[in-house]
Amino acid sequence: MVNKSIAKFIAFIIIALIPVVFFVYFKNRNNFSNSASPRPMWPIDVKNISGKMDTIYHQVPNFSATNANGISISTEEMIGNVSVVEFFFAQCPSICPIMNQQMERVFTNLSRNNNFKIFSYTIDPDRDSLSSLTDYASKHNADLSKWYFLRANQQEVFNFGRNGLKIPVDIEDSEVGFLHSERFVLIDWNRNIRGYYMGTDSVEVNKMMHDIVLLLSEKEIKEKKKRKKIKL
C-alpha cells in the first residue's frame, strides 16, 4: 500500500513538472535566438554590392591621438579588431573612476584575445600629460599595447565624439565644463558602431562583455567562410 502511494506521488510530480520542462526549453530557445551579436547602427545608404542590395553603415572616421607611451594611435587600429571607446579625464571626481573600474574588469576578462582593443580618450589634455596618463593606466593594470590612453587637441576630441561616435553632448557642472559621457561605445572590425552601454552600470557592462564575445565569434566565423571560399 505504501509503495503504491509513493508511486502515485512520483507520477504526480512528473506530470506536474512536464509544463515546467517545456517552459524552460522554449525559454532557452528564445534566449539563444536573442544571443545574436548586435547589428551595426546608423545606416546611411543602400547600395548594390556583388549583385545584391546591402545597407551601408556609418564608419568611425580616421582620428589620430598620442598614446600614454608617446606612440601615435589611429582609429585604423580598429580595423580587424573589436574595440570599445570611452571618454574620461584623470582628475575626474565623479563618473570616471567608476567607469574605469568597470573598464579594468572588461580588460582583465577579455584582453587575452589579440583582436580586442580599448580606446580611452582624455577630454582634458591640458592637465592630462602623457606621464599622468601613464600613471593612470598603471593604476588600472592596463597594457598600453591593447588599452590605449589617448591625448589629442580637446576640440578635435569633442568633434570626434559628437560626429564620429554619435555621442550626444552632455555638459558636466560648470566647475568642469567639458563634453562628458558615461557611455562605452562598441565598434566592430569594420569600424561600424554596434552599441552603447552605460559605463557606470555593472549590468550594462556585463551585457557589453557578452556582446564583445559574440562579435569576436562572428568575426571568426566570417573569416573561416572567406578562407573556405578562397580554397574553393
Q: What is the pLDDT of residue 109?
A: 97
Q: What is the pLDDT of residue 225?
A: 85
Cell 520542462 sits on residue: 21
Task: Supply the DSSP symbol for 124.
Answer: -
- Mean pLDDT in residue range 108-127: 96
- Rounded (5°) CA angle 220-58-143: 55
- Mean pLDDT in residue range 134-151: 97
Q: What is the pLDDT of residue 173?
A: 45
Mean of all residue pLDDT scores within the chain: 85
113: nearest Cα among 71, 69, 82: 82
Whether residue 7 has pLDDT greater than 50: yes
Whether residue 26 has pLDDT greater than 80: no
Answer yes or no: are the C-beta atoms of 116 and 98 closer than 8 Å: no
Q: How far apart are the first and last CA of the chain?
A: 70
Q: What is the pLDDT of residue 3?
A: 59
- Mean pLDDT in residue range 45-73: 91
Q: Which of 72-86, 136-150, 185-199, 214-228 has the lowest mean pLDDT?
A: 214-228
Torsions phi, psi for 83 (to 5 deg): -130, 155
Alpha-carbon span 97 to 149, nearest angstrom: 14
Q: How confident is the model at residue 77 (pLDDT cuts 50, 70, 90)?
A: very high
Q: What is the pLDDT of residue 106?
A: 98
Q: What is the pLDDT of residue 228?
A: 79
Q: Which of 75-89, 93-107, 113-127, 163-177 has the lowest mean pLDDT?
A: 163-177
Cell 582634458 sits on residue: 124
Grid coordinates given for 196: 552603447
Q: How confident is the model at residue 25 (pLDDT cuts 50, 70, 90)?
A: very low
Answer yes or no: are the C-beta atoms of 117 and 78 closer than 8 Å: yes
Environment class of 213 (CB within 10 Å of its CB; exposed 0-12, middle 13-18, buried 19+):
middle
Q: What is the pLDDT of residues 154-194, one digit of tens each?
A: 999 999 999 999 997 655 543 344 567 899 999 999 999 99
Rounded to the nearest 5 percent, the helix, strand and coil shares of the chain are: 45, 25, 30
Helix axes 202-231, 95-110, angle to 10 degrees: 40
Q: How confident is the model at residue 36 (pLDDT cuts 50, 70, 90)?
A: confident
pTM for this structure? 0.80
